[in-house]
C-alpha cells in the first residue's frame, strides 16, 4: 500500500514540472496562447454585445495551474498584446473600445485570484475547486459589468441581464469541467511523485 504524499499547499500544478525561469516563461507564454486560442471559439449572441466564448474557462484553468504570478502575467500579456493590436480577442477584436473589454480586464483579476487560491489548496478537491472557479467568475463580472454599463449606457439591471444572466449556465458547465479536471490532475501528480 502506498502512503499518500502530502503536497505543500503553496504549490500549483505547474510546479510539478522541473525547471526555473525558462520553464516559467514557457508556461506564461503557453497560458497566454491558451487564452488567445480559446477566444477564437466564440459565438455572437443576437441579444447581447458580449459573445459566448471559452475564454473564461481558459483564464480560470491558467490561473489555477500556473498560480498567482504566472497566471496573472499570462492574462496581462494577453490583454496588453490585444490592446496593442493583436486581433485575438473574441470575434477578432483588438484595442479596447468594445462592449466586452471590461471582461478582459477582469481576466487579470480572475487569474490572480484563482492562482492565489490554488496556491492555498483551492484546486485540490471538487468542492474547493468549484468555489475557487465561482469566485474567479465573480471577479470577471465585477470588471465586465461596470464597463458594459458605461460603454453601452446601460442601467445595472440591464447590464446584468445582458452581461451576466445569459452566461450563468455556461459558467456552471465550465466550473464543473474545472472541478473535474483540477483535482484529477492533482491525483495524477501525487501518484507520479510517490513513485
- Contact predicate 71/114, CB 8 Å: yes
What percent of the chain has pLDDT above 70?
Answer: 95
Pairing of strands 52-53, 42-43: antiparallel
Domain tally for the chain? 1
Instruction: Flag whether 1 is in a domain.
Output: no
Domain range for 55:
14-193
The DSSP H or E segment spanning 42 is strand 42-43
Number of H helices, E strands in the chain: 6, 2
Distance between CA atoms of 112 and 60, rounded to whole angstroms?
A: 9
193 confidence band (pLDDT: 50, 70, 90): confident
Instruction: Flag whether 5 is in a domain.
Output: no
Instruction: Flag whether 150 is in a domain.
Output: yes
Instruction: Flag whether 130 is in a domain.
Output: yes
Instruction: Flag whether 166 is in a domain.
Output: yes
167 confidence band (pLDDT: 50, 70, 90): very high
Give residue-wise pLDDT tens across range 178-187: 999 999 999 9
Confidence check: pLDDT of 93 > 60: yes
Q: According to the model, what pLDDT value does residue 9 have?
A: 60
CATH (domain of 83) = 1.10.1760.20
pTM of the predicted model over 0.95? no
What percent of the chain has pLDDT above 90?
Answer: 76
Amino acid at each position: 500500500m502506498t502512503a499518500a504524499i502530502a503536497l505543500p499547499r503553496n504549490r500549483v500544478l505547474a510546479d510539478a514540472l522541473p525547471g526555473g525561469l525558462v520553464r516559467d516563461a514557457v508556461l506564461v507564454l503557453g497560458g497566454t496562447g491558451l487564452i488567445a486560442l480559446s477566444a477564437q471559439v466564440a459565438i455572437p449572441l443576437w441579444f447581447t454585445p458580449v459573445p459566448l466564448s471559452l475564454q473564461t474557462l481558459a483564464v480560470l484553468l491558467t490561473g489555477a495551474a500556473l498560480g498567482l504570478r504566472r497566471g496573472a502575467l499570462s492574462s496581462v500579456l494577453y490583454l496588453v498584446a490585444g490592446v496593442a493590436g493583436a486581433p485575438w480577442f473574441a470575434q477578432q477584436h483588438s484595442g479596447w473600445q468594445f462592449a466586452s473589454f471590461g471582461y478582459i480586464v477582469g481576466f487579470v483579476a480572475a487569474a490572480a485570484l484563482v492562482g492565489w487560491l490554488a496556491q492555498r489548496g483551492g484546486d485540490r478537491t471538487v468542492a474547493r475547486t468549484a468555489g475557487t472557479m465561482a469566485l474567479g467568475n465573480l471577479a470577471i463580472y465585477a470588471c465586465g459589468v461596470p464597463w458594459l454599463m458605461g460603454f453601452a449606457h446601460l442601467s445595472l439591471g440591464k447590464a446584468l441581464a445582458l452581461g451576466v444572466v445569459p452566461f450563468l449556465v455556461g459558467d456552471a458547465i465550465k466550473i464543473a469541467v474545472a472541478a473535474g479536471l483540477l483535482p484529477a490532475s492533482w491525483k495524477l501528480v501525487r501518484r507520479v511523485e510517490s513513485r
